[in-house]
Amino acid sequence: MLKKRIITALIALAVLLLVLFAVPGPVAEIVIALLILAGAWEWSAFLAAGSTNTRILFVVVVAAVMAVVAWQAPQINGMLFQLALVWWICALAWTLYYPTPIPEAVRWIGGMLVLVPLYNALLVLYLANPAILLGALLIVWAADTGAFVAGKLFGRVKLAPQISPGKTWEGVIGGLVTVALLSLAGAVWFEVRISVLVPFCLAIACASIVGDLTVSMFKRTAGLKDSGTLFPGHGGVLDRIDSVAAAAPLFALGIGWMGFQ
């Protein structure tokens, strides 16, 4: 299983680098949109009335909202990212009280609030500079990798056993330490103030954990372990972008506030 996960991750990384730095901009933007719509299709399986027609309707609605957001950008970017911030704070509070029932309407709205700001954030970061988008992804990957390794080696105390039994507080600490070291090196390399970059990256890493737990909460409610099977050893699209879904909008909001763009 580990070998399969590594091979899949390497292939996905190669494709990502190709999309970010080799293909024309319009093609990359289409790929980003298709990725989000694939995630929307997987999210539609969380809906209580999960018929094919309902699932198609959800994807169509997400696509329509994405189109409106892209059309109105950049005027609404700040407002959308602030809305995402509010959503993820509420989601964090919600995870603390799980298991609780998730009404059908909340599943629809939650899907919109996870996917649409993510789409806009990926687009904004890519158009600003593909390297900035890659930097945001590196923070999430560092947090995930550090958490995985530390959890395997030292994991004892469960983080949220009702939501994600495999996650531990030791893993969280390992992920944050990894991100702190990465951001410290980045601050030195890019000559950015350590007192600014390190806390910022740690905040993004914390957001990525909330994103992971939130999507897992919806999966548990729907009785699903993975959102799909597109990535062997990793699950579906949502299983790969759940952490990014919370991290990317807040990263875009933060760099806008701090004038990094």
Confidence of residue 257 (pLDDT cuts 50, 70, 90): confident
Q: Which domain holds residue 234?
A: 2-258
Whether the bond between 74 and the residue before it is cis, its omega within 30 degrees of 0, is: yes
Tell me the C-alpha distance between 225 and 215, whole Å: 11
Q: Which of 124, 118, 138, 135 is nearest to 65 (CA)?
A: 118
Tokens of 92: 């964090």
Please write the tens of the pLDDT for every residue from 175-197: 999 999 999 999 998 888 999 99
* Residue 88: pLDDT over 60: yes
Tell me the C-alpha distance between 165 and 15, whole Å: 31
State the DSSP code for 50.
-
The structural domain count of the chain equals 1
Question: What is the average pLDDT across 132-138?
Answer: 95
Q: Which of 124, 148, 134 is nearest to 18 (CA)?
A: 134
Confidence of residue 236 (pLDDT cuts 50, 70, 90): confident
List of E strands, the chain? 158-160, 164-168
Tokens of 10: 């390497």
Widest Cα–Cα separation across the chain: 53
Tell me the C-alpha distance between 109 and 187, whole Å: 38
Please give the share of the chain, as a percent, with pLDDT higher than 90.
72
pTM value is 0.92
Tell me the C-alpha distance between 108 and 102, whole Å: 10
User: Across the strands, what pairs with 54?
Assistant: none
Cα separation values, 70 from 29, 116, 121, 124, 161, Å: 11, 10, 11, 10, 38
Contacts of 18 (CB under 8 A, 6+ apart): none
Torsion 231-233-238-241 (CA) sign: negative
Cβ count within 10 A of residue 228? 18
Identify whether the C-beta of residue 108 lies closer than 8 Å to the C-beta of residue 47. Answer: yes
Query: What pLDDT is attached to residue 73?
Result: 82
Amino acid (1-letter code) at residue 93: A
Confidence of residue 69 (pLDDT cuts 50, 70, 90): very high
